[in-house]
Amino acid sequence: MSWANAIPIGLLIFIVAGVYSSVGLGGASGYLAILSLFSIPHDVMATSALCLNLLVAGVAFWSFREKDFFSWHLTWPFMATSIPAACLGGLCKISFRAYSLLLGMVLIAAVIRLMMDRQNEERPLNGKTLPLKAAFPVGVGIGFLAGMVGIGGGILLGPLALLYRWGGAKQIAATTALIIFVNSMAGLLGRYFGGNLRVLSPWFFIFVIVAALWGGLLGSHLGANFFSNRWLKRILSAILALIAIKLFFTVGRGMA
């Protein structure tokens, strides 16, 4: 990988890390999209995305927790099932075309629902206890995808938690950041034991790590301190829509 490619990749990763971390996400979907443009092998992409996820989500969690947005009560039910599921997912391989189509459909549905809910975004939370019968299977699903594809799962957990108003936008951002962190770690362990752990060349990997770190620090600081709940929802909706379009474009090109 030459510096001619490394510099634009680093810049794009810095931007992705900043935008995603502002809403408590690690950015794996964005990293995968960026790396795919440069013909990097899929297993290298997945492992590298999980490593960057681990870093950026950790920074985001620290920023939101420092502002007292973290709720253990909201987080532990998802962690209980997502961690072992992420380890199992890391042992598996899946058709990228099938995954892209499925995830794209889920993301579009989430965007539509979030856009419809904007007029009521300031209404009180539902006040109900997080139902374990819903949290446990959700944890399994997001964890399995985390390890299998190289994402943290927060891109799915965040919209669900917002739709059912299990917490405020920033509280959910803190929860998704921690879930992404632990799922990324579990996914990396699964990939290691499954023989799928391959990363970028050392010097290039360090370069993108630094870019992601600075982007994550900036984005999580802005998200935790300055962005309102309305802006958090708008940013999340835009992120989901862009990712879905990219996924559908990839599937359509592969079928052509």
Task: Give yes or no for residue 123 having a pLDDT over 80.
Answer: no
Tokens representing 184? 């990324």
The pLDDT score that the predictor gives to residue 124 is: 47
pLDDT digits (tens, 9 = 90+) for 42-94: 778 888 888 998 899 888 899 888 888 888 888 898 999 999 998 888 887 77
Task: Give yes or no for residue 118 having a pLDDT over 50.
Answer: no
User: What letter represents residue 117's amino acid?
Assistant: D
Whole-structure pTM value: 0.77
Short-list 247, 61, 37, 77, CA closest to 171: 61
| Mean pLDDT lowest among 28-32, 48-52, 247-251 | 247-251
Short-list 49, 93, 87, CA closest to 190: 87
Task: Give yes or no for residue 8 having a pLDDT over 60.
Answer: yes
The pLDDT score that the predictor gives to residue 119 is: 47
pLDDT digits (tens, 9 = 90+) for 190-221: 888 877 777 777 888 888 899 999 988 988 88
The pLDDT score that the predictor gives to residue 238 is: 80
Q: Distance between CA 173 and CA 163 in Å, rounded?
A: 13
| Phi/psi at 152 (5° precision) | -90, -15
